[in-house]
């Protein structure tokens, strides 16, 4: 039997990038998967098809995680189709506007905080009644190495990711007695479509970053998915409130 057989997972922002990698990995290990997307239905359906090839069940659900009604609808659909929610991976996020703080508007700020931080809150808020009823749950929030270090021209992004790790630690204390664990994965530079956007703004940044990674290469979504797979497993019962850096050692080589 696969280690996640009988479990149901929602992975937000899973039509591409890190979320896609996590959805595919958890599906491969037997979980039913809700593939969440906000824009690309075609890509989400491709992920569903890939998961179903491995004999797991999956559905694609459109929802903007910054909107409470959308999130509630996604959770309701999950319960309607699969009967429960055992795993919530809050992956959906945005880089926001990459610019000096003097060029950031209030709208820019609200946009990134609403998606990156409020989105985590809304998904947890709507999922918790179901997890609490079952007295069991695994929640993963998606931080970043920028949760711990400064990054010029990314100040709004850094603020949102720092908030995620603080939120994670507090919820772990609060929800642990209910047998619901809350952890964060904090990746370094992952080679995804979002990284391609940064490469266009700063040509050569991928090569520059790779040179700072002691293990010698950029991360892949599969690297992050491997950590997610462990955190949602039975073996990780006593891992709670951890903010796990997955960056090949780069954070130790930033100067």
**Measured between alpha carbons, how far is 61 from 64 in angstroms, rounded to an integer?**
10
Beta carbons of 12 and 34 less than 8 angstroms apart = no
**Measured between alpha carbons, how far is 56 from 29 in angstroms, rounded to an integer?**
8
Q: Give the catalytic positions in this structure.
A: 157
Beta carbons of 120 and 223 less than 8 angstroms apart = no
Task: Give Cα separations from 134 to 43, 122, 140, 236 (angstroms).
Answer: 32, 19, 18, 18
Q: Tell me if residue 238 falls in helix, strand or coil.
A: coil
CA angle 183, 184, 190 (to 5 degrees): 150
**Measured between alpha carbons, how far is 59 from 36 in angstroms, rounded to an integer?**
8
């Amino acid at each position: 039997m696969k280690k996640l057989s009988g479990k149901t997972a929602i992975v937000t922002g899973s039509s591409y990038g890190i979320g896609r990698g996590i959805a595919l990995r958890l599906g491969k290990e037997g979980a039913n998967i809700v593939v969440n997307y906000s824009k690309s239905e075609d890509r989400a359906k491709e992920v569903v098809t890939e998961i179903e090839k491995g004999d797991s069940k999956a559905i694609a659900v459109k929802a903007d995680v910054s909107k409470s009604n959308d999130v509630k609808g996604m959770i309701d659909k999950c319960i309607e189709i699969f009967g429960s929610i055992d795993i919530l991976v809050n992956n959906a996020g945005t880089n926001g506007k990459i610019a000096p703080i003097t060029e950031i508007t209030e709208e820019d700020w609200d946009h990134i905080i609403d998606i990156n931080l409020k989105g985590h809150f809304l998904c947890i808020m709507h999922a918790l009644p179901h997890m609490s009823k079952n007295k069991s749950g695994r929640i993963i929030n998606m931080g970043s190495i920028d949760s711990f270090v400064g990054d010029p021209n990314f100040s709004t992004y850094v603020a949102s990711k720092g908030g995620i790790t603080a939120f994670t630690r507090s919820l772990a204390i609060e929800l642990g007695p209910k047998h619901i664990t809350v952890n964060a994965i904090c990746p370094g530079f992952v080679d995804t479509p979002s990284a391609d956007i940064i490469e266009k703004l700063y040509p050569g940044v991928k090569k520059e970053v790779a040179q700072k990674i002691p293990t010698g290469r950029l991360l892949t979504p599969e690297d992050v998915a491997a950590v997610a797979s462990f955190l949602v497993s039975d073996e990780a019962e006593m891992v709670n409130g951890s903010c796990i850096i997955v960056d090949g050692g780069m954070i130790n080589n930033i100067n």
